[in-house]
Amino acid sequence: MNPLIAPSVLAADFANLQREVEMINESESDFIHVDIMDGVFVPNISMGLPVVEAINRHAKKPLDVHLMIVTPERYLSDFKKAGAAHITVHLEACPHLHRTVQTIKDLGCRAGVALNPHSPVSQLEDIIREVDIVLLMSVNPGFGGQSFIENTYAKVQKLKKLIVETGSHAKIEIDGGVSMENAKKLVDTGATILVAGNFVFSSKNPQETIKKLKNIG
């Protein structure tokens, strides 16, 4: 099956965001991935609510917002108002993950839970049926352009098994270092959404690169 593609604007030209969003609008991508970093949960600061609002003013694809921030529950309704269709929080940042997931769904957004590379999939056992998206980090979060961690395939396999066993409808999203070198194997293993930052935006023809990723299945 063909994956859903979410280009990450973290790798876009921030001085020309409207043009970059229009490029994504006219491509075969399915979502626009927006990375929010607070300099606390991850060692980098990316963008905040006004930038998400600005992206949303031009976006024709749903915003897939990835919160790499501490206490994300404080900002969920703000991100919804800014235009988020999906809100993904980190398991490692949420002591009351069940409540946080419920709040995201009550806001009318799809609820995602992200796992850092070291966090075992088994930690999702008791929440997987509530979750719309599980985002597996295939690099350590904080920066674009890092190399893909090979152990991700094993995690996709375990997650797929958990989803099937529990009858969950969760989609499996992979984020970090995605390229033509790993996309097919990821999709064959069970990934359903691929995020791609540098691989798309550093390529000569980003729309063509999105098309290639999309048609890999």
Give the rounded distance of the alpha carbon of 135 from its chain centre.
6
Residue nearest to ligand DX5 (CB): 197
Find where tokens 């995201």 sit: 104
By the rule CB under 6 A, 177 interacts with ligand DX5: yes
In the complex with ligand DX5, the residue whose CB is nearer, 77 or 116, is: 116
By the rule CB under 6 A, 64 interacts with ligand DX5: no
In the complex with ligand DX5, the residue whose CB is nearer, 102 or 205, is: 205
| Catalytic site includes residue 35 | yes
| Catalytic site includes residue 175 | yes
| 90 annotated as belonging to a binding site for a ligand | no
**H-only helix segments in the chain:** 17-25, 49-58, 76-82, 97-106, 152-166, 183-189, 198-201, 206-214
By the rule CB under 6 A, 66 interacts with ligand DX5: yes
In the complex with Zn ion, the residue whose CB is nearer, 20 or 175, is: 175
Choose which of 30, 35, 64, 92 interacts with Zn ion (CB under 5 A). Answer: 35
Contact yes or no for 70/38 (Cβ under 8 A) = yes
Written as six digits, the tokens of 99 are 């409540």
Tell me whether residue 130 is exposed, middle or buried, using C-beta atoms within 10 angstroms of its C-beta: 0 to 12, 13 to 18, 19 or more. Answer: middle
We find the least distance from the C-beta atom of residue 165 to Zn ion, in angstroms, to be: 27
Written as six digits, the tokens of 120 are 């075992």
Residue nearest to Zn ion (CB): 66
- Report d(CA 145, CA 166) in Å as an integer: 34
- Which residues does the annotation place in the binding site for a divalent metal cation? 33, 35, 66, 175
- Residues annotated as catalytic are 35, 175
Residues near Zn ion (CB under 5 A) are: 35, 66, 175
